[in-house]
């Protein structure tokens, strides 16, 4: 019994950096080409699909960010969407006429309205989100698992309540009706909303946003992969497996936890800023608890702590609503002559089922991390080991 409980020496050292095997390189090139062609191919079925793709990339960023907190560091955060909200509102306030309309002093300083460039707003949004991450992280440092979940959930709700109510006496957020007329992304003099001709082609604004979002999402993936293999990433995983042991090994638990919160939040902040720019409109409705749970289902479905799995989960669940709209609704129409369950409800139903089913039958997700990474946290082996250890300590 004791032998199974002890950690086995790592037989699979991480592959040395540097040389990428040709097979992987080929796959990456093919994937890159597919990502470039995708909007043009799928655009043939309608702009809605390209728009859905854009949301997929936003969800990929969110899922990656939440994965840092939940998957890498093992801290269950149910209020993650709050950071998305912080990023989105930061962009919205700095790049829309809202503030200058409601604060005469500001209007005096900026007669043309506030139109801060995305190069400034995005970093500000990201750092504000990171600051909120630390703000949330500091009081909950000592809490574990379930308490943490409830406090973060409460935090998410508080942010939403404030967004809903901070329209009086001073109108900061414009309340439930949200902020409109947000500037689109401008890179230099190039406006993504009115692209005109690019390289002899006439891409729609949606397609260009898609490219921008995909680029940022790829960057996010790269950052995550590099983080995972870094000293910090290993510290997170040690923390996730056993906090006491990690501390004994010299991991600075406080700093490492705060870094997880703030880095995770940064991803949310960036995604939020891009969301505001892409959508041109933000309101508290987009940042409900349901959204936090949707992002959580994505990473649970894909495979907690495993970057490719998380991306897979995000892509699957983010495409689901669009797919349901095109399959479930006509199908019900054909079968019953009317729509019994509309796509939005069906989506939540499937999310719930997926979350429960995955946890019961495939707790490590559809595309789990290789054995040596995740097994103590979510494997069946781990459960058995835990039992054995408990039994042993119980006798002592």
Partner 1 sequence: MDTLVQQVINGLVLGSLYALIALGYTMVYGVLNLINFAHGDVLMIGALSALSAIGVLQGAWPGLPGWTLLLLGMTAAIPVCIALSLVIERVAYRPLRNAPRLAPLITAIGVSILIETMAMLIWGRNYLTFPRLLPDAPIHLGNATISVTKVVVIVLAALIMGALLWLVQSTRLGRAMRATAENPRVASLMGVNPDSVIATTFAIGAGLAAVAGVMMEATYQVAHFYMGFIPGLKAFTAAVLGGIGNIAGAMVGGIVLGLIEALGAGYIGQLTNGIFGSNYQDVFAFIVLCTVLILRPSGLLGERVADRA
- Site mask for partner 1 (CB under 8 A), range 311-350, x = bound: ------------------------------x---x--xx-
- Site mask for partner 1 (CB under 8 A), range 351-390, x = bound: xxxxxx--xx--x------------xxx---xx--xx---
Does residue 145 interact with partner 1 by CB under 8 A?
yes
Nearest distance, CB of residue 62 and partner 1, angstroms: 17
Does residue 150 interact with partner 1 by CB under 8 A?
yes
Based on CB atoms, which residue is closest to partner 1, 101 or 243?
A: 243
Of the candidates 35, 124, 143, 225, which one interacts with partner 1 according to CB under 8 A? 143
Based on CB atoms, which residue is closest to partner 1, 18 or 394?
A: 394
Q: How far is the CA of 68 from the CAs of 15, 63, 233, 275, in angstroms?
A: 21, 9, 9, 20
Of the candidates 52, 54, 78, 224, which one interacts with partner 1 according to CB under 8 A? 78
Based on CB atoms, which residue is closest to partner 1, 116 or 388?
A: 388
Contact 293, 351 (CB under 8 A): yes
Based on CB atoms, which residue is closest to partner 1, 108 or 395?
A: 395
Based on CB atoms, which residue is closest to partner 1, 46 or 386?
A: 386
- Interface with partner 1 by CB under 8 A: which range of 28-36, 50-58, 137-145, 199-207? 137-145
Of the candidates 53, 76, 82, 208, which one interacts with partner 1 according to CB under 8 A? 76
Based on CB atoms, which residue is closest to partner 1, 187 or 384?
A: 384
Does residue 140 interact with partner 1 by CB under 8 A?
yes
SS (H, E, C) the chain: CHHHHCCCCCCCCCCCCCCCCHHHHHHHHHHHHHHHHHHHHHHCCCHHHHHHHHHHHHHHHHHHHHHHHHHHCCCCCCCCHHHHHHHHHHHHHHCCCHHHHHCHHHHHHCCCCCCCCHHHHHHHHHHHHHHHHHHHHCCCCCCCHHHHHHHHHHHHHHHHHHHHHCCCCCCCCCHHHCECCCCCCEECCEECCCCCCECCECCCHHHHHHHHHHHHHHHHHHHHHHHHHCHHHHHHHHHHHCHHHHHHCCCCHHHHHHHHHHHHHHHHHHHHHHHHHHHCCECHHHHCHHHHHHHHHHHHHHCCCCHHHHHHHHHHHHHHHHHHHHHHHHHHHHHHCCCCCCHHHHHHHHHHHHHHHHHHHCCCCCCCCCHHHHHHHHCHHHHHHHHHHHHHHHHC
Contacts of 293 (CB under 8 A, 6+ apart): 78, 351
**Binding-site size, partner 1 (CB under 8 A):** 55
Does residue 165 interact with partner 1 by CB under 8 A?
yes
- Site mask for partner 1 (CB under 8 A), range 261-290, x = bound: ----------------------------x-
Residues 292-311 touching partner 1, rule: CB under 8 A, are: 293, 296-297, 300
Of the candidates 142, 226, 231, 362, which one interacts with partner 1 according to CB under 8 A? 142
Of the candidates 31, 158, 219, 249, which one interacts with partner 1 according to CB under 8 A? 158
- Residues of this chain that interact with partner 1 (CB under 8 A) are 70, 74, 76, 78, 139-140, 142-147, 149-151, 153-155, 157-158, 161-162, 164-165, 169, 242-244, 289, 293, 296-297, 300, 341, 345, 348-349, 351-356, 359-360, 363, 376-378, 382-383, 386-387, 391, 394
């Amino acid at each position: 019994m004791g032998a199974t409980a002890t950690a086995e020496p790592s037989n699979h050292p991480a592959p040395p950096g540097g040389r990428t095997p040709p097979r992987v390189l080929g796959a990456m090139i093919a994937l890159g080409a597919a990502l470039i062609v995708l909007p043009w191919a799928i655009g043939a079925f309608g702009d809605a699909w390209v728009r859905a793709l854009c949301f997929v990339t936003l969800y990929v960023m969110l899922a990656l960010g939440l994965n840092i907190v939940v998957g890498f560091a093992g801290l269950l955060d149910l209020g993650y969407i709050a950071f998305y909200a912080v990023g989105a509102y930061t962009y919205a306030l700095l790049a829309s006429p809202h503030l200058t309309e409601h604060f005469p002093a500001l209007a005096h300083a900026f007669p043309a309205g506030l139109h801060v460039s995305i190069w400034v707003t995005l970093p500000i949004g990201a750092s504000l989100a990171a600051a909120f991450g630390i703000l949330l992280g500091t009081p909950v440092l000592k809490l574990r698992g379930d308490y943490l979940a409830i406090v973060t959930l409460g935090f998410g709700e508080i942010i939403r309540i404030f967004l809903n109510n901070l329209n009086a006496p001073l109108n900061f957020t414009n309340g439930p009706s949200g902020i409109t007329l947000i500037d689109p992304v401008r890179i230099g003099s190039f406006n993504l909303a009115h692209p005109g001709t690019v390289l002899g082609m006439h891409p729609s604004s949606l397609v260009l946003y898609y490219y921008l979002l995909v680029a940022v999402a790829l960057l996010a993936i790269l950052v995550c992969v590099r983080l995972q293999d870094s000293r910090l990433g290993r510290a997170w995983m040690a923390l996730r497996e056993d906090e006491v042991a990690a501390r004994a090994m010299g991991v600075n638990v406080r700093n490492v936890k705060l870094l997880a919160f703030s880095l995770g939040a940064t991803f949310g902040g960036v995604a939020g800023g891009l969301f505001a720019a892409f959508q041109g409109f933000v309101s508290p409705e987009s940042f409900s608890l349901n959204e936090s749970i949707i992002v959580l289902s994505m990473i649970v479905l894909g495979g907690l702590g495993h970057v490719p799995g998380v991306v897979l989960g995000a892509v699957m669940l983010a495409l689901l609503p669009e797919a349901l709209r095109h399959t479930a609704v006509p199908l019900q129409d054909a079968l019953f002559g009317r729509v019994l369950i509309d796509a939005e409800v069906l989506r939540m139903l499937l999310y719930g089922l997926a979350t429960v089913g995955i946890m019961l039958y495939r707790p490590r997700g559809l595309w789990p991390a290789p054995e040596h990474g995740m097994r103590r946290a979510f494997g069946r082996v781990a459960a058995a080991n835990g039992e054995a250890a408990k039994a042993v300590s119980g006798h002592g």
